[in-house]
Amino acid sequence: MKLSITSLWAILILFVTGCTSQKEVVETPTPPFHPTVKLDAKTLTISFEQTACFGTCPVHKMEVFGSGYATYHGDRNVANEGEFIATLSNEQLLQIIAKANTLNFFDLKESYKAKMTDLPTTIIYINDGTRKHKVTAYGNYPDNLKAFITYLFDFSQNVKWGSNK
């Protein structure tokens, strides 16, 4: 049986494409988050707000929806003053939720209060699609909440916000 040149080329092409079409599967580490995170594009997923004090406390509010659409209002003592918008990646949203889980945000009390005046209030709300939790903190709160507030503040100040006009 003779093989034609066309048949040889066909066999060679199948051999080459068969070898090159194999993809190496590389597992990447997944950030620690609740296994049933289901972000709804139209639902408020993250809200982070800090209110005024008599001093130089930052006054601002960031809201992020499941689609990644984010709004920011910076009132004073923040990097961006005014109204801004941005689109966060799914990775950024999951990173915030993973940080919340690492710091046990969903296990925190709903309210922390201190018996003193002139403190700012921090309000954090997170909805990961299966759990919703809101924490209002006015002093006297645990270290893991303090770390999460610092994380969210730094995050909100480093987003590439665009004009809302």
Q: Render pLDDT for 70-94 as a digit per residue (tens, 0 to 9).
A: 999 999 999 999 999 999 999 999 9
Quick one: pLDDT at residue 40?
Answer: 87
* Residue (of 148, 151, 143, 120) closest to 133 by Cα position: 148
For each of the chain's 165 residues, which pLDDT tens digit applies?
Answer: 555 655 544 554 444 444 444 433 333 344 455 556 788 889 999 999 999 999 999 999 999 999 999 999 999 999 999 999 999 999 999 999 999 999 999 999 999 999 998 999 999 999 999 999 999 999 999 999 999 999 999 999 999 999 877
Please name the residues in contact with 114: beta carbons below 8 A apart, sequence gap of 6 or more: 138, 139, 140
pTM for this predicted structure = 0.78
SS3 category, 1: coil
Quick one: pLDDT at residue 137?
Answer: 97
CATH fold of the domain at 44-163: Mago nashi protein (3.30.1560)
Please name the residues in contact with 141: beta carbons below 8 A apart, sequence gap of 6 or more: 112
Quick one: pLDDT at residue 7?
Answer: 54
Quick one: pLDDT at residue 164?
Answer: 79
User: In sequence order, what are the beta bridge partners of 120?
Assistant: none
Chain position carrying tokens 């590389």: 26
DSSP-assigned letter for residue 62: E
C-alpha distances out from residue 25 to 22, 39, 90, Å = 9, 26, 22
Alpha carbon distance 141, 149 (integer Å)? 11
Quick one: pLDDT at residue 145?
Answer: 97
Quick one: pLDDT at residue 39?
Answer: 85
